[in-house]
Structure 1
Amino acid sequence: MRAGRIGTVHCYGRFAVDAVSRAGAVLGDREVVACRTPESFLAELDRVEAVLGLGMRVPDWSVARRLRLIHLVGSGADSILPAAGLSPDVRVAAAKGLSAPAMAEFAVAMLLALAKRLPEVLASQRSRAWEPHHPVVLSGGTLLVAGAGPVGREVARRAKALGMDVIGVRNGPDPVPEFDETHPAGRFAELAGRADAIVLAVPATPLTRHLLDGKVLDRCRPSCLIVNVSRGEVVDERELAGRLRAGSIGGAALDVFEKEPLPPVSPLWDAPGAILTPHVSWSSPGYGRQVVELFARNLERVERGEPVVNPVDLARGY
């Protein structure tokens, strides 16, 4: 890894630009170049040494001959893949784990909202109708968590505090202490049949695309509750909407979608028992500053020729 001072840093996208503007002092006396549009970033590519952002769709990274660090404001690398022409010497890091507590709280809040029938309750309230909606008790039930990374583990801790038995699936052989059971990812479909609720907390990769598809949904109990805080591509949205309309799934809370913003024609908008939120589960008041501080820390590590914190394996996608 090439060592030496990085004098100029680039930030790409509204979130990164705003976060750096609020916490710029963390970056010291380095020049900061704000790129709010794809065109402005591509125009700077030949002098980019380090960039903080998300969704840098670059046709050919080989133009960035000075590039030493790509730092993502989120946890997954899907927003920059396939990263054509990127030198293997470029370090790629992500903000893995920073949003895990917020996302886990959000996931559990959605589980409780579905279990206590809040969509139906609020609909009755709006129509001034006194209609009892019978809640479900999560305690004693089984939660299946797809993904045993920082978010999945935080979800497991909170679900166990509610009295749930928690099963985790992951791409690895080792057990994870936060789960009551840990199984290989290949058993997800089989284990879905045991679950009273499912939380999806996996990265977007070719292996996780439509992980929750029609075949898996057919294995689920009619009362099963589903929460997705990972990536929209993980769920076959049309199949899920169909099951919600048929009443063969107990409810679903989705914070992420295959196309964002969710198109007005999506069948999910008026699907019974659905809660839809605009990709906000990661958000917390201090997140922007935390990301910039991690970026500054990794800049210093790159300057010293050291490995970065939270490295990303582009071949795996996370």
Structure 2
Amino acid sequence: MRVGKITKVHCYGRFAIDALDASMSALGGRRLIACRTETEFVAELGQIEAVLGIGMPVDNWSRAERLRLIHLIGSGADSLLPAKGLSSDVQVANARGISAPAMAEFAVSTLLGLTKRLPDALTSQHAREWKRHHPRLISGATLLVVGAGPVGREVAQRARALGMYVIGIRRTGAPHPGFDEMHSADRFAQLATRADAIVMAVPATARTRQMLNADVLDRCTANCLIINVSRGDVIDEEALSARLHAGVLGGAALDVFQREPLPATSPLWDAPNTIITPHVSWSTPDYPSRVVDLFFTNIERVESGQPVINPVDHVRGY
């Protein structure tokens, strides 16, 4: 692992550029190079030492001979990994944990809204129709949280405070004190039969792609609620939409989709008791500044030969 001063800092994408522009004092004498287009970024590849961004347009990283740090502005690494030609010496970090409270609040607030049938109530309100939609009780219900990372743990904490029984799923299945039960991912379909609601909070990898598929959905109870704050690829959207419209699921709250923006032709838009939001569950006013602070902390750690905070495994993808 190389040590020593990083003299230039690159950024790619509007979010990263705006965030760094607002934090110029943090550069510490380093030169900032903003790449606004794919062409600019690819042209700079051989000069990059540390970069902040997401969705970087590189087919082969072998020319990035000076690269020491890739820092993602979000928690997902699916837009980067697997990365052809990327040296194992390059440290990859993400922003996991920064938005965990906000995403947990989104998951639990939409869970409450669906349980109380607020989407149906708003539809009736807009139609000026006096129609009763009978709410259910969330206390005593069973929540299945898929993913026991920072977001999943924050969701579990809030759900238990509301009186829910919380079952967790993680890769290892190792117990965690924040959950009433913990199991490995191979038991997902079996556990779905017990769930009054399922929150998807897993990273997008080859192993989690369409993890919530038709088979799992068919095992869910007729009132089961589906909340997704992870990535659209972890759900079979076609299967979910079909079951929502058929009335064999209780509803859904979806903040992420396989294709974003969600096409106007998607049947998910008018699925019953469903909340659609445009990938905003992570958003808080201080998110950009906190990402930049973490980025420069990790630059300093790379310069001194230390491992980064929030490392991402090149092989596992999270």
What interval of TM-score do these two structures reach, taking the shorter chain for normalisation? over 0.9
Kindly indicate whether the alpha-carbon contact (under 8 Å) linking 1:156 and 1:178 is maintained by their aligned counterparts in 2.
yes
CA distance in 2 between counterparts of 1:316 and 1:96 reads: 15
* Alignment-mate amino acid for residue 218 of structure 1: D
* Alignment-mate amino acid for residue 62 of structure 2: S
SS in 1 for 2:268: coil
Kindly indicate whether the alpha-carbon contact (under 8 Å) linking 1:55 and 1:79 is maintained by their aligned counterparts in 2.
yes
* Alignment-mate amino acid for residue 110 of structure 2: M
Q: CA deviation at 1:24?
A: 2.4
| Equivalent residues in 2 for 1:269-284, closer than 5 Å | 269-284=269-284
Kindly indicate whether the alpha-carbon contact (under 8 Å) linking 2:107 and 2:229 is maintained by their aligned counterparts in 1.
yes
CA distance in 1 between counterparts of 2:121 and 2:23 reads: 42
**Residue 69 of structure 1: aligned partner:** 69
Kindly indicate whether the alpha-carbon contact (under 8 Å) linking 1:213 and 1:239 is maintained by their aligned counterparts in 2.
yes
**Residue 191 of structure 2: aligned partner:** 191
**Residue 241 of structure 2: aligned partner:** 241
SS in 1 for 2:239: helix
Q: CA deviation at 1:133?
A: 1.0
CA distance in 1 between counterparts of 2:244 and 2:69 reads: 44
State, as a whole percentage, how many aligned pairs show the same letter. Answer: 65
SS in 2 for 1:288: helix
Whether 2:52 is the aligned partner of 1:18: answer no
**Residue 30 of structure 2: aligned partner:** 30
**Residue 122 of structure 1: aligned partner:** 122
Q: CA deviation at 1:36?
A: 2.2
- String of CA shifts for 1:6-58, please: whole Å, max 9, x gaps: 01001111111111111222222211111122222111111111000111131
CA distance in 1 between counterparts of 2:36 and 2:205 reads: 27
* Alignment-mate amino acid for residue 272 of structure 2: P
Kindly indicate whether the alpha-carbon contact (under 8 Å) linking 1:57 and 1:79 is maintained by their aligned counterparts in 2.
no
* Alignment-mate amino acid for residue 73 of structure 2: V
**Residue 89 of structure 1: aligned partner:** 89
CA distance in 1 between counterparts of 2:59 and 2:19 reads: 26
SS in 2 for 1:152: helix
Kindly indicate whether the alpha-carbon contact (under 8 Å) linking 2:211 and 2:234 is maintained by their aligned counterparts in 1.
yes
CA distance in 2 between counterparts of 1:36 and 1:131 reads: 51
Once structures 1 and 2 are overlaid, which stretch shifts more, 171-180 or 217-226?
171-180
Taking only aligned residues, the RMSD between alpha carbons, in angstroms, comes to: 0.9
* Alignment-mate amino acid for residue 75 of structure 1: S
**Residue 168 of structure 1: aligned partner:** 168
SS in 2 for 1:218: helix
* Alignment-mate amino acid for residue 279 of structure 2: H
Q: CA deviation at 1:272?
A: 1.5
Whether 2:207 is the aligned partner of 1:222: answer no
| Equivalent residues in 2 for 1:130-149, closer than 5 Å | 130-149=130-149
CA distance in 1 between counterparts of 2:214 and 2:65 reads: 45
CA distance in 2 between counterparts of 1:96 and 1:194 reads: 29
**Residue 60 of structure 2: aligned partner:** 60
**Residue 181 of structure 1: aligned partner:** 181
Once structures 1 and 2 are overlaid, which stretch shifts more, 32-41 or 307-316?
32-41
SS in 2 for 1:216: helix
SS in 1 for 2:134: coil
SS in 1 for 2:215: helix
SS in 2 for 1:269: helix
**Residue 311 of structure 2: aligned partner:** 311
SS in 2 for 1:294: helix
Kindly indicate whether the alpha-carbon contact (under 8 Å) linking 1:72 and 1:95 is maintained by their aligned counterparts in 2.
yes
SS in 2 for 1:226: strand
- String of CA shifts for 1:217-276, please: whole Å, max 9, x gaps: 110000001100000000100100100111000000100000111112212112112111
CA distance in 2 between counterparts of 1:27 and 1:78 reads: 28
SS in 2 for 1:268: helix
Q: CA deviation at 1:125?
A: 0.8
Runs of 4+ in 1 over 4 A off after TM superposition: none
CA distance in 1 between counterparts of 2:59 and 2:73 reads: 20
CA distance in 1 between counterparts of 2:164 and 2:210 reads: 26
Aligned length: 318
Q: TM-score scaled by structure 2?
A: 0.98
CA distance in 1 between counterparts of 2:274 and 2:173 reads: 34
Kindly indicate whether the alpha-carbon contact (under 8 Å) linking 2:42 and 2:57 is maintained by their aligned counterparts in 1.
no
Q: CA deviation at 1:132?
A: 1.1
SS in 2 for 1:308: coil
Structure 1 unpaired stretches of 5+ = none
**Residue 2 of structure 1: aligned partner:** 2
